[in-house]
Structure formats: structure tokens, C-alpha cells
Structure 1
Amino acid sequence: MTLPLHRFVRPLLAGVASAVLAGAAGAASTMPTSRNDEEEKPWEEAQWTPPASFSLDKVRTFRLEQTTTMEFGIEPTTLQVGSDGVIRYVFVARSASGALNVLYEGVRCQTAETRIYARWDPASGWRQSGTGSSEQSWQPLSFRGATRRQMFMARAGLCDGPTPNNPPARMLNELERGKPDLR
């Protein structure tokens, strides 16, 4: 006697489907049910210190705006991306008369923020930014106001959207190639 095929296949498929569903349920129980189950650690800034040495002779210069007579640059040996995602570097601004402004600063692409860590002068070396000053805390990047220059630098080569534009050599090359007067 021959059994109809559907009498054999239907119970077999039901058994296979049950096994697959049971396996999927078991696997799903070990996986997080939502992103909230995977607690994200709050961002923590890495320890930093201004570079012990740098060379004003090695500064790689770039233009940020067509209308300025200032010369801007980064000392390439100081340009680094920290484990916390912050791009830190020694920034040099030189006026036509030769006056220098040397800063150790950072840009955090992920949050579009910047911070000045320390200022340097030839007589006394590095001086950390004052506690409680706006320089001491992270400031939002903006095309207006105190963070305008850092915004131009972030857009012109330091950042690739919300991430650092690694490696540092690429950052410098893009800054030198220039995207003046970004708006």
C-alpha cells in the first residue's frame, strides 16, 4: 500500500519547523534584545600632557581663509589621534610681524567640539589653560566666534564627518591642499 506523500511530508516539515524555531529561540535568548541591554560606557577623556618638545622649524603651514595675513600651521610630530578619539596637536599662528601664538589643543570630531589644553611661550614653556576658563572645557565648533579657526581646520582636513581623518599625514596633506573660506 502506498501512503500519499503529503501524509509523510507534512509531519516531517512540522518537526523541522519546530526544531528550527526552538533553536532560534535559544539563540535569541543569549543575544541582547535591544541596544539598551548593551550598556555603553560614557566617554572618558584620555590623560594628556603637552609635548615635551616640538620644532617651530618643522611646522607645516596652511591657509584657512583667503582674507587673513596670519600663517597657520601644525607641528607634524605632535599630531596624534588618542585612544579617546581626540585629535591633539601643537598649533602655531604667526603674524606678518613674526609674533607667535602656540597652543596645544584638541578636536573631537564625534561631538564637533574643541579644547585648548595649554599655551606656550618661549620664556616659560607650557602653561595649562586656567581652571574654570572656557578654554578648560570642551566648546562646540562654530563658524562664528572663538572656535571658528578650529571649525575650519576640522572641515578642511582633521575630521571626516564624525571621525578623525586618519592617518595624521592625510590630515596635514588635506589642510595644506586647502579648502579656504568653508561655509
Structure 2
Amino acid sequence: MFSRSVAGVAALLCMGFAIPASAQYADLDRADWKEDTVPPPPAYSVSGLIDIEMPRASSVRMGIDPKTITLNSDTGIVRYVVVARGPSAVNAMYEGIRCATGEYRVYARQVQGGEWSPASDSEWKSMRGQVTYPHPYRLARDGICLGATANSVPEEMIRALRSPKGTLYD
């Protein structure tokens, strides 16, 4: 009887410690949430990109530079540089994903290695149903997010993004 009680208390304590980690970003959709000051776009490299599986055939390949992935644990925002490589151009975007609300934001764009330009459409938008920018949803689904929370650390995100994916159904 005593050992079951101790085991029950131990299980509750373990759950108590696990809850804050799993619910860490659960309240970030509240009205008083504020985004932190956005750091400048990090330097990136086109070598070592992790390809992003896209829903339709295209001559443009998308990839994320794993060295640019950062997580702000206070806001729950994951920021990164994604690179679009086509037959005649290589362009980059500095973006953020907010797993708690299923949203993404483009902070800046860079055309052919030029200067970064602030994005004119830089508000938070839903990742679902995006036709123009389907890659944030793919990134979130494939390793940036674990449901409504950000994956624990960038190294875990990178590991998950590098893992083989199944067939696309959406």
C-alpha cells in the first residue's frame, strides 16, 4: 500500500515537472503577448541546406540553413533563414514560426546575395492553406514544432528536419 502511494506521488511529481515543459507556449496566443525585438538576419550558407519537401513539382528548390535556426524560449518564436534556389536565382528569406498559434512571419528578403530588405508583408499569418509560401507549414510539421510547442532545442529541430519523411498526403 505504502509503495503504491509513493509511486503515485512520484508519478504526480514527474507529471508536474513535465507539464511546464510541454505547456511552455500554450498561453502565447493571449492578447497581451508581445514579440521580442527581432535580431538582424544571420549569415547563412547555401552549402549544407536541409531540403524542404514541397507539395508540387517546381524548378525552385527550398532549403533551410540549420546554422541559422534559433529559438527564443521567452516568446516561443523559432527564427531561421530559408533559401530558394532556382535555375537563374538564389534568394533568401529571414522568417519566424510561432508554433503556439500556427503562424509564420517573413522579416526580410534578400535577392541574389544583395542587401537584406525588410519584408513589406511582415505580419503574422496562418501557415495552413498557404499557396505562395507553403514551406513554413512543412518546416513546422517536419521538426520545428511539436504540435503547439516549439521543439525543445534547435539541435532537435535539425535532427527531425533531417529525418526521412513519409509520402506527402496534403
TM-score above 0.5: yes
Q: Which amino acid aligns with 1:174?
A: A
The one of 127, 138, 142 equivalent to 1:141 is 127
The one of 82, 97, 109 equivalent to 2:99 is 109
Secondary structure of 2:142's match?
helix
The one of 127, 146, 155 equivalent to 1:169 is 155
- C-alpha change, 1:143 and 1:80, in structure 2 (3 Å) is same
1:181 aligns with 168
Unaligned 5+ segments in structure 1 are 1-39
CA offsets 1:89-141 (integer angstroms, 9 cap, x no match)? 0001212x1522210001100000110000012453210112xxxx2110011
Tell me how many residue pairs correspond in the alignment: 139
Unaligned 5+ segments in structure 2 are 1-29
Q: Provide the rounded CA distance (Å) in 1 between the counterparts of 2:59 and 2:166.
A: 16
Q: Provide the rounded CA distance (Å) in 2 between the counterparts of 1:107 and 1:119.
A: 16
Q: Which amino acid aligns with 2:75?
A: D
Whose helix proportion is higher, 1 or 2?
A: 1
Larger radius of gyration: 1
- C-alpha change, 1:164 and 1:113, in structure 2 (3 Å) is same
Pairwise CA RMSD = 2.3
Q: Is the 8 A contact 1:78 1:90 kept in 2?
A: yes
Matched, 1:65 2:52: no
Q: Provide the rounded CA distance (Å) in 1 between the counterparts of 2:167 and 2:93.
A: 22
Q: Is the 8 A contact 2:90 2:113 kept in 1?
A: no
The one of 130, 146, 150 equivalent to 1:160 is 146
- The normalised TM-score by structure 1 is 0.66
CA offsets 1:67-91 (integer angstroms, 9 cap, x no match)? 3443221112210111311110000
